[in-house]
Structure 1
Amino acid sequence: MNQQSSPASRHGSLTVLQGAALYVGAVLGTGVIALPALASNVAGPASLIAWLVLVVLSAPLAATFAALGARYPDAGGVSTYVRNAFGPRASAIVGWCFYFAVPAGAPAAALFAGAYVAAAFGGGNGTVLLTSFGLITAVSISNALGVNVSGRLQVVLSALLVALLLVAVVASMPYAAVANLHPFAPHGWSAIVPATALLVWSFAGWEAITHLAGEFRRPARDLPLASGIAVVVVGMLYLAVAGASVLVLGPSGGHSSAPLAELLVLGIGGKIRIVAAGAALLLTLGTMNAYFAGAAKLGAALGRDGALPAWLAQGSRAGDVPRRSLAVVAGLSALAMAVVAAAGVGAQPLVLLTTGSFVTVYALGTAAALRLLPRSSAAHRCAQCALIAVIGLALATGWFLLWPLAMSVGALVYLQLRKRREARQGARCELS
């Protein structure tokens, strides 16, 4: 194994609690605000089966990436695993797909939260943009101060988020009615399939923290433990909120744009739009903070390994802060948000482009796991299950796989140009 793909020789200061909080923030994204209602609208109470299926399927996916992170604790994350399994070209492809997906996904989440704030306090598109830029600035500053500061912030955000969701569920349960489960499948049992595809966005994120594996105090022990804690917490919270949405809100919940806020208002009272805005901001901050941290480390590793300009390599070692890579992620995020806002197309195209990129990352990552993990191990069996699930996800993604295809071409072209430039430089050195 070459030096670039070997495990980091030193580790950082992230604790299990901070790691679990980063996982929860990455996975428990903005989808929990609206997706329970959207899934219920598609499949009725049977949407609860879709939630359960994805909770079960997320376990092997999380276990696969945690096992890889424990064995190869490097800032490259999935790109490092793919490098070890399939070589530098495949590594560059998966690295580009993830790195350039974050500047598309982060603005989508920020615009989503901004819309909630505008609905609560007014100001229209100006409030949306101001909130969005504010969120990008906040998570950029947090990560510029170091992953330890970012990890502490994530613990606070995740604690507030978990408390908010638990309060929403517990306070609204006196209004639950079993009668709301009937009819259980008003649109037929086949409606569970599109409901499952719709909910996939809510379970993306298990790969994001692998880029921070070297930042854990003891990666081999702490990363799988943090991942396991997060799987349990995320699964229970998703099922609790989805169950409460169906049992409490009934058929009307499928037409709500903010079921979580409605549960809170029903249980404890308050102004629904302000409550929804607060929930959206908490969820968005947690998600963006986790992804900015992972993407910044990845960019530094790609610069170190030659898949991106070497200028980005600063901060690739465990404990170092990748401020240059972070600045690129933040700048591209702001640019993408400004372009989408000027075009007036909303956040949906960014969401779908991001989903297509992550499907590619998952496919290559789980395929690498099948080559790298011991064949008789539980982790290898988890990787087999995860790859099957990812293939199904790829089929549901459809045309939006063209975006990661474009990123793949870009990565290969960059490597080829870099190779030619190095060859010309070598020839000049020989002549001189």
Structure 2
Amino acid sequence: MASKATLGRQIMRRKPVDLLIAESTGDLDPTAIPLPPGAPESGGRSGVHLRRSIGLVQLSAIGIGATVGTGIFFVLNTAVPVAGPAVIFSFVIAAVTAGLTALCYAELASAIPVSGSSYSYAYATLGEVVAFGVGACLLLEYGVSASAVSVGWGQYLNEFFHDAFGFTLPDAVAQPPGDGGYVNVPAMVLVLLCCLLLVRGAKESARANAAMVGIKLCVLVLFVAIALTGFHSGNLKPFAPMGFTGVRLAASSIFFSYIGLDAVSTAGEEVKDPHRTLPRAIIIALVVVTVLYIGVAFAAVGAQKWSLFEGQQAGLAQILRDVTGQTWPSVMFALGAIVSIFSVTLVVIYGQTRILYTMGRDGMLPPRFAQVSPRTGTPVWNTVVVSAGVALLAGFVPLDVLADLTSLGTLVAFAVVSVGVMILRRTNPGLPRGFKVPGYPVTPVLSVGFCAYLIYGLHPLTFLMFGAWLVGAAWIYFGYSVKHSRVGRARLDHSGAGNPSS
């Protein structure tokens, strides 16, 4: 019984908020937490840590860049056949869920402005084993979603090449497996380009992303303006051919389109004035994304019969060609989609590397994940490993499997953040917060409820794959992480330092 009780205390130990913040600012006392053997000297010991170089505009662009394009360029092809024109309400349901969670993210990000996103928040509120599980969910949310987004890059490349130059890449190397392709070469090339840019530095990546976000916003506004000229009310009938069940199923599937809100909080250690900048950027990203998504969905289903969406390649560009009878709008849109997908893939891979960096610094993963290049201020080895994994998934795994896994991982992480807000209000009520959730505690409770509702709508096979993923994560945690946890080593070496409830 004693050994079980000891293990229970180990896996539920929490990381103090002041320690999280001290590590992020480089103010950590060298004796506060002993490093595992071979760990890099970071977090204030050698001055090699992530650099604060991102402002409000760039951070908002990170949120928008990781969100707009993640789904809107592709998801209508799978969501509209399920929900019909009522897919508009599917986007509203997903937006409400994302909005409730965004408010919770804004509070936690302003109180704990560190890298690691919901992994770090869970470590401070729910305990180590829950945090590691959230980290595993974030691997699905970021790594898998980057693959899901990059899969469609080849489709829009072909659309652009066809309309502009009259040729296309062979399906065998330009389409995802299961959709006429064998290996998705364009997706793998895209991931390689993102990797090279991220290795150069966070500031350079943020600037490039901000420029690409501006392009994609213009392209989507152009789509809405042109598509509305072909609007026919008859295309909205029947409005919900599959009933509300179809609306719910579509909402669950498209929720991965909102993961960019989480990406904002992964930059917590590289943001100027994070207590104010983080919550503002999250809310700005949410508003911009929601307006665009609903506008694009409404214009698309009004301009094209809902039954034509299924199996359509580069569907939004096709709608523009049909409405105008000309190729130039679709050429512009396809080019914008190419830039947009690059932006999304870049930011999502960026978010994944910062989460693994934080987990490596905590001893949850081998210490090499926390190594930062003194020249660029980026986790270079970490970025290369993540990019390699994303490229393999993008090249060889079908898109529909990737999208549902991403939605489930995202929803679980979002629900944990909402629970974390309520726990931190009780355990650390005096913690300075640059933003507080309005309507507390109703808002975080509703957020958890909406997340659970959307999880219920996912395909049963997704749960089996997710369960297998968590079993693998548990094997890593109990085989490595629980023994190498820096918080755990601190409590062994400093008796009485930080009890499990701290």
Q: Same fold (TM over 0.5)?
A: yes
CA contact (8 A) 1:75 1:316 kept: no
Gapped runs of 5+ residues in structure 2?
A: 1-15, 27-50, 163-167, 176-183, 430-435, 493-502
- 1:286 is aligned to 343
Residue of 295, 310, 316 corresponding to 1:260: 316
Deviation at 1:293, TM superposition (A): 1.3
Given residue 109 of structure 1, which amino acid in structure 2 is its aligned partner? V
Looking at structure 2, the residues matched to 332 and 12 of structure 1 have their Cα atoms a distance apart, in angstroms, of 27
Map 1:11-410 to 2 at 5 A: 12-99=52-139, 102-118=142-158, 120=162, 121-127=168-174, 129-255=184-310, 256-265=312-321, 266-267=323-324, 269-270=326-327, 277-315=334-372, 320-338=377-395, 340=396, 346-373=398-425, 377-378=437-438, 380-397=441-458, 398=460, 399=463, 400-409=465-474, 410=476
Residue of 479, 483, 494 corresponding to 1:413: 479
Query: Equivalent pairs: percent with the same residue?
Result: 23
Deviation at 1:169, TM superposition (A): 0.8
**Paired residue secondary structure (1:34):** coil
CA contact (8 A) 1:300 1:316 kept: no
1:396/1:43 CA distance change after superposition, 3 Å: closer
After superposition, the C-alpha distances for 1:265-286 in whole angstroms (9 at most, x for unaligned) are: 2248317875664344223212
Given residue 124 of structure 1, which amino acid in structure 2 is its aligned partner? D
CA contact (8 A) 2:138 2:410 kept: yes
Given residue 134 of structure 2, which amino acid in structure 1 is its aligned partner? V
After superposition, the C-alpha distances for 1:109-133 in whole angstroms (9 at most, x for unaligned) are: 2222124434642233334533122
1:130/1:228 CA distance change after superposition, 3 Å: same
1:160/1:303 CA distance change after superposition, 3 Å: same
Higher helix share: 1
Looking at structure 1, the residues matched to 172 and 443 of structure 2 have their Cα atoms a distance apart, in angstroms, of 45
Looking at structure 1, the residues matched to 78 and 140 of structure 2 have their Cα atoms a distance apart, in angstroms, of 28
1:350/1:111 CA distance change after superposition, 3 Å: same
1:251/1:326 CA distance change after superposition, 3 Å: closer
- 2:25 is aligned to 9
1:198/1:236 CA distance change after superposition, 3 Å: same
Looking at structure 2, the residues matched to 131 and 116 of structure 1 have their Cα atoms a distance apart, in angstroms, of 10
Looking at structure 2, the residues matched to 259 and 126 of structure 1 have their Cα atoms a distance apart, in angstroms, of 20
**Paired residue secondary structure (1:46):** helix
Looking at structure 1, the residues matched to 380 and 170 of structure 2 have their Cα atoms a distance apart, in angstroms, of 33
Deviation at 1:73, TM superposition (A): 1.0
Gapped runs of 5+ residues in structure 1?
A: 427-432
Deviation at 1:48, TM superposition (A): 1.6
- 2:39 is aligned to none
Looking at structure 2, the residues matched to 383 and 407 of structure 1 have their Cα atoms a distance apart, in angstroms, of 30
1:4/1:288 CA distance change after superposition, 3 Å: farther
Looking at structure 2, the residues matched to 323 and 68 of structure 1 have their Cα atoms a distance apart, in angstroms, of 28
CA contact (8 A) 1:369 1:380 kept: no
1:140/1:53 CA distance change after superposition, 3 Å: same
Looking at structure 1, the residues matched to 373 and 276 of structure 2 have their Cα atoms a distance apart, in angstroms, of 22
Looking at structure 2, the residues matched to 80 and 330 of structure 1 have their Cα atoms a distance apart, in angstroms, of 22
Looking at structure 2, the residues matched to 47 and 282 of structure 1 have their Cα atoms a distance apart, in angstroms, of 26
RMSD, aligned CA? 3.0
**Paired residue secondary structure (2:72):** helix
Deviation at 1:100, TM superposition (A): 5.9
Looking at structure 1, the residues matched to 25 and 91 of structure 2 have their Cα atoms a distance apart, in angstroms, of 40
CA contact (8 A) 2:216 2:337 kept: no
After superposition, the C-alpha distances for 1:128-153 in whole angstroms (9 at most, x for unaligned) are: 53312221111112211211111111
After superposition, the C-alpha distances for 1:392-422 in whole angstroms (9 at most, x for unaligned) are: 2332334243144224313233224547xx9
CA contact (8 A) 2:60 2:284 kept: yes
Looking at structure 1, the residues matched to 86 and 389 of structure 2 have their Cα atoms a distance apart, in angstroms, of 40
1:389/1:412 CA distance change after superposition, 3 Å: farther
Deviation at 1:388, TM superposition (A): 1.2
CA contact (8 A) 2:74 2:152 kept: no
**TM-score by structure 2 length?**
0.75
1:85/1:148 CA distance change after superposition, 3 Å: same
1:28/1:270 CA distance change after superposition, 3 Å: same
Aligned length: 418
